[in-house]
Amino acid sequence: MPRPKSSPGLEPISSPRVTIMDVARKAGLSRSGTAYALKDDPHVSKATRVRVQKIAATLGYRPDPMLSKLMAHLHGGRAKRYVGKIAFINPDPKSDFVRITPALSSFFSDAKSRAAALGYETEEFWLHEPGRSPQRLARILLARGIRGIVVGDMETKGKLPDFPWEHFAAITVGYSIVEPKLLRVASGYFLNTLIAMGKIFEAGYRRPGLLSLRRQEDAMGRGHVAAFLALQEEMSKEGRVALMNSPIMTPHVIRAWFDEQKPDVILTPNYPPKIHLKEAGIRVPEDVALVSLQRWDGSAGIAGVRPGFERLGTVAINQLVSLLQHDVRGVPANCTTLELEGRWMDGPSMPGVKKPSKKTKKA
């Protein structure tokens, strides 16, 4: 039977997929040695890594994602071998910012557990260590074989000092770092506020007020403020409470706003929320109901949204490991953000509003 003719302009595909063994034979190395060189493993000399990677590029080698998935499945039941090390960098001017901030403590604890499960060790660094420039820190990381970096959040938004990002795969948490524009993971502050407001209206409250500190809100992408103002557009004038997004947060400022606006429930991302109101002489829930937009395990009795930082670390590490496996480094051309939805938690700080009972008319 004669072969069918090819369609005009179309050539039959005849070249097989280039495998890692093809690269190994061309480089004169073993399969495992070639694999380590392609992964830029520091135990392989730099000259060999560069040579192997050039050969792979010339041959058109691309890792097979389905094979990687199969191997991960086959090794799933075995003890995790050591894969490498990931750096956790605290970029805030305060050296202890991670430990004194519940959100970051939860985030890094989860990230460390996930990294260990994938075979990565972790090491913590402070970006502003006295006597050590960012360039010096980069050399230390490279010397220790570290190619992956998780950059923490900061108290106020800002830019990071010059750093040779081109050598590293990096991911950051939150919205405080405005430059460079790294791949980021964050809690869904906007969506979390919508969740809280929905619960507030369900409970019968009609005059919600948002109490936030401006610099902290800026560092969180102003998500709480944006959602609060968007919902006010749908409310009656009688139900609208003026936003309190203050540059300072003192008992006097809080009390003056409360007395003027008379909210029946207060939402706030401030921590700890109840203490701020107590110092202003406002009782919870006797004078006003309270909802936390940053609810933690230690916030006993406080209703609110748990933002998910105890789950966000896993998302960050999964994304970072994917970058490492695909040898993606440097600042991406397009900044991508992955947001995690929070979870509502009931609490006596926001009891349901009792509807007035209808009196039966006497005949």
- Reported as a single tens digit per residue, the pLDDT across 7-25 is 444 444 445 778 888 888 8
Name which of 65-74, 295-304, 339-348 the model is least confident about: 65-74
Parallel, antiparallel, or unpaired for β 303-306 and 343-345?
Answer: antiparallel
The answer on pLDDT for 224 being more than 90 is yes
User: Please, what are the domains in the chain?
Assistant: 20-74 (1.10.260.40), 84-188+310-345 (3.40.50.2300), 189-306 (3.40.50.2300)
What pLDDT digit, counting tens, does each position of 274-292 carry?
778 889 999 999 999 999 9
> What is the structure's pLDDT at 4?
46
Q: Name the average pLDDT for the chain.
A: 86
**What token pair was written down for 333?**
């051309």
The answer, yes or no, to whether residue 114 has pLDDT greater than 60, is yes
Residues 6+ apart with CB under 8 A from 302: 273, 274, 290, 291, 292, 295, 347, 349
| pLDDT at residue 316 is higher than 80 | yes
pLDDT at 92: 95
Residue 179 clears pLDDT 60, i.e. is over it: yes
The proportion of the chain whose per-residue pLDDT surpasses 70, expressed as a percent, equals 86
- Percent of the chain beyond pLDDT 90? 60
Looking at residue 76, its pLDDT comes to 53
Measured between alpha carbons, how far is 7 from 27 in angstroms, rounded to an integer?
Answer: 38
pLDDT > 90? residue 303: yes
Give the pLDDT mean for 348-359: 71
32 versus 126: the higher-pLDDT residue is: 126
Average pLDDT of the residues in 191-204: 96
The Cα–Cα gap between 335 and 157 comes to: 17
- Predicted pLDDT at 70: 54
Contacts of 34 (CB under 8 A, 6+ apart): 20, 23, 24, 27, 52
User: Assign residue 214 a region: left if phi > 0, alpha if psi is -120 to 50, beta otherwise?
Assistant: alpha
Nearest to 152 by CA among 185, 120, 122: 185
SS3 content of the chain, % helix, strand, coil (to 5): 40, 15, 45
| Region of poorest pLDDT, from 23-27, 45-49, 141-145, 149-153 | 45-49
Does 125 score more than 60 pLDDT? yes
**What is the DSSP secondary structure assignment for residue 280, as one 8-state letter?**
T
Q: Per residue in 57-101, pLDDT tens?
A: 898 887 765 555 555 555 555 545 678 899 999 999 999 999 888
If you average pLDDT over residues 43-57, what whole number do you get?
85
User: What pLDDT score does 75 carry?
Assistant: 52
